[in-house]
Amino acid sequence: MMNKIFEKTLFIPEKNKNAAYVFLFIITVLFLVAGYIFSIVKHNQYLSNAWDLGIYNQYVYKFSHFKKPVATVYARFSEQGVFFLSDHVTLLLPFESMLYWLMGKNVLLYLQIVYIILGAFGLYKLIKLETESEYLSVLAYFLVLSHYSVFATLDFDYHTNVIGSMLVPWILYFIKIQNLKMFLFTLFLSLLSKEDASLILVCLAIYLLIDRWNFKYAYILLICSIVYSIFAFKLLSYFSLFENKQLSNWRYNHISSTFSGFLLELINNPGKYLSMMFNTPEKEMKLKYFLYTGGFVAFLKPKYLLPVLPNFILFNLSDTWGTWGNMGHYNIFFSVWIPYILILFINRLKYVYIKVMLGVLFIYLNIYFLRENYSTCWTRFDKILYTDYYHQRFNIREIKEMLSMIPANASVSASNHLIPHLAFRDKCYFFPEVNDADYIALIENDCINRYYYFSGTTECYINIRNIMQNDNYKIIFNKNHVLLLKNKNK
């Protein structure tokens, strides 16, 4: 009886496509508003970071102007800057950079929002194909766009692993409909996004083989991902050695200094490293969020664990605290994989009313953990509901006035939060690196109020005081804790 009632009163009639599109439109608009607030509003208040947005913005400038793609923001590693393949193999970036001429300086932040929506829509299409249910398809779309990892990512600038993760639903979709050209297209876009995307795709291919998907496509996925993984990491290793720069993304020296040694350690001591994956509060919290938002399904069917294994291994075993928990962009793949396996689980249930009730439950859990999750600077989602979020700087007018005094072609050394705005030039250095800077732009009170790379509050103030006393520079702007110094010799 209850099953028939739910079949008749299901909030999205299965045969009414227009109703589904209305829900998709509403969800998309709400996400665009929230995404814009989390990403663009924050950036416009000079709160985005030199690492990574400032670095990527300088690469965008170099590629779009057909200059050698060297990031001088990395000057602490190399005086001449660092070539873009020395840190990450992000071969899509040169093509994305051309959109700078169309979308302006915020191009990467806008693209990141677009990628997430495309990933959610890809999952909508995939679920609709597999379940023939508008209700479950729209539910999947909502679960992606309200996932805690999505907003943790948006809150921390721009990251290329978003692209690779959001293309996974499309890869699966094109395998299902056996569209070889579009499958290969999305596969190579995903691989080109970042070197570690290949590791996820290798595990995804193994899952497809176990789950008896189309063997032809699964083997193509497996072989291409393995080959590209070897190529990308060889390329990364070569340029890192060429630049005489240690790999910044190698965080496993406590286990082994080489990738092969790392793998051998995992194979020889699986119990030791399994326990290490969950031996801190941050790692336990990560597992909790994973399970409660739908990841428990992966433990009911262990084959679903395969694609997320690279995440737990690479990030939970690293020596960097920031990768362990739910902050930042590291868990973005969860936002498409968890809803996918959850919906497949719900679809197998017999009674419609149970499907609807579970859908409502996981909508609640998604929103609950979205609100509970900490983003950067230990803030939560609800911050956007308060006016203080939109007025975090008391000296924005002075910052804008100061920035307007810096010529577009001048070399600059700047504070962390100014670099993403000043990176669109040949030379931009991360203060206290000065080198041959024509100007030095600083926000003095950021030493206290904002996280500052490489130094604590005292050291930050000492660096600022020292440069103010430097005979080579004169202060030409000093208002409300905003400073601009000019090189006397230029």
- Sheet with 439-443, edge to edge strand ranges: 428-430, 412-414, 439-443, 482-487, 473-479
pLDDT of residue 199: 92
Provide the pLDDT confidence category of residue 455 given band limits of 50, 70 and 90.
Answer: low
pLDDT of residue 251: 81
Over range 36-53, report the average pLDDT.
93
Does residue 413 share a domain with residue 371?
no
> Alpha helix (H) ranges present in 304-380?
309-316, 334-347, 352-372
Does residue 190 share a domain with residue 82?
no
Is the confidence at residue 473, as pLDDT, over 80? Answer: yes
pLDDT digits (tens, 9 = 90+) for 323-374: 888 888 999 999 999 999 999 999 999 888 889 999 999 999 999 999 998 7
Lowest mean per-residue pLDDT among 196-210, 255-269, 398-412:
255-269
Residue 4 lies in a domain: no
Instruction: Return the structure tokens found at 75.
Output: 């000057």
DSSP structure class, residue 71: E
Look-up of token digits 């597999």: 130
Instruction: Return the structure tokens found at 248.
Output: 């910044």
Is the dihedral angle over the CA atoms 117, 123, 126, 132 positive or is it negative? negative
Does residue 403 share a domain with residue 296?
no
Tell me the helix, strand and coil percentages in the chain, rounded to 5: 65, 5, 30
Residue 36 lies in a domain: yes
Q: φ and ψ at 11, to 5 degrees?
A: -65, -15
Q: What percent of the chain has pLDDT over 90?
A: 66
Is the confidence at residue 245, as pLDDT, over 60? Answer: no
Q: What percent of the chain has pLDDT over 70?
A: 92
Does residue 137 share a domain with residue 270?
yes
Does residue 208 share a domain with residue 92?
yes
pLDDT of residue 380: 82
Residue 488 lies in a domain: yes
Q: Give the domain range for residue 418.
A: 52-87+395-490
Ramachandran quadrant class, 463 (left: phi over 0; alpha: psi -120 to 50; beta: rest):
alpha
The 3-state secondary structure of 141-205 reads: HHHHHCCHHHHHHHCCCCCCHHHHHHCHHHHHHHHHCCCHHHHHHHHHHHHHHCCCHHHHHHHHH
pLDDT digits (tens, 9 = 90+) for 232-242: 888 887 776 54
pLDDT digits (tens, 9 = 90+) for 110-156: 999 999 999 999 999 999 999 999 999 999 999 999 999 999 999 98
3-state secondary structure of 438: coil
pLDDT of residue 247: 46
Q: φ and ψ at 484, to 5 degrees?
A: -135, 125
Is the confidence at residue 13, as pLDDT, over 60? Answer: no
The residue ranking higher by pLDDT, 207 or 259, is 207
If residue 446 lies in a helix (H) or strand (E), which one and from where to where?
helix 446-449
Is the confidence at residue 244, as pLDDT, over 50? Answer: no
Does residue 204 share a domain with residue 260?
yes
Does residue 296 share a domain with residue 244?
yes
Residue 360 lies in a domain: yes
Is the confidence at residue 261, as pLDDT, over 90? Answer: no
What's the predicted TM-score (pTM) here?
A: 0.92
Q: Which of 164, 484, 122, 48 is nearest to 339 (CA)?
A: 122
Which regions of 264-418 does DSSP assign to beta strands (E)? 412-414
Tally of domains within the chain: 2
Q: Give the separation between CA 362 and CA 143, rounded to whole angstroms.
A: 8
pLDDT of residue 255: 86
Q: Give the separation between CA 486 and CA 481, rounded to whole angstroms.
A: 17
Look-up of token digits 């993760």: 165
pLDDT of residue 190: 96
Q: Which of 385, 405, 432 is the last residue before a domain boundary?
A: 385
pLDDT of residue 102: 95
Residue 2 lies in a domain: no
pLDDT of residue 450: 60
For 309, residues 6+ apart whose C-beta sits below 8 A from its C-beta are 203
Is the confidence at residue 7, as pLDDT, over 70? Answer: no
Q: Which of 338, 356, 385 is the last residue before a domain boundary?
A: 385
Does residue 284 share a domain with residue 136?
yes
Does residue 453 share a domain with residue 311?
no
Does residue 442 share a domain with residue 314?
no
Residue 6 lies in a domain: no
Does residue 340 share a domain with residue 202?
yes
Does residue 173 share a domain with residue 315?
yes
Distances in Å between the Cα of 140 and the Cα atoms of 103, 123, 131, 133 are 30, 7, 11, 11
Cβ neighbour number for residue 112 with a 10 Å cutoff = 22
Q: Which of 385, 404, 439 is the last residue before a domain boundary?
A: 385
Residue 310 lies in a domain: yes
- Mean pLDDT across the chain: 89
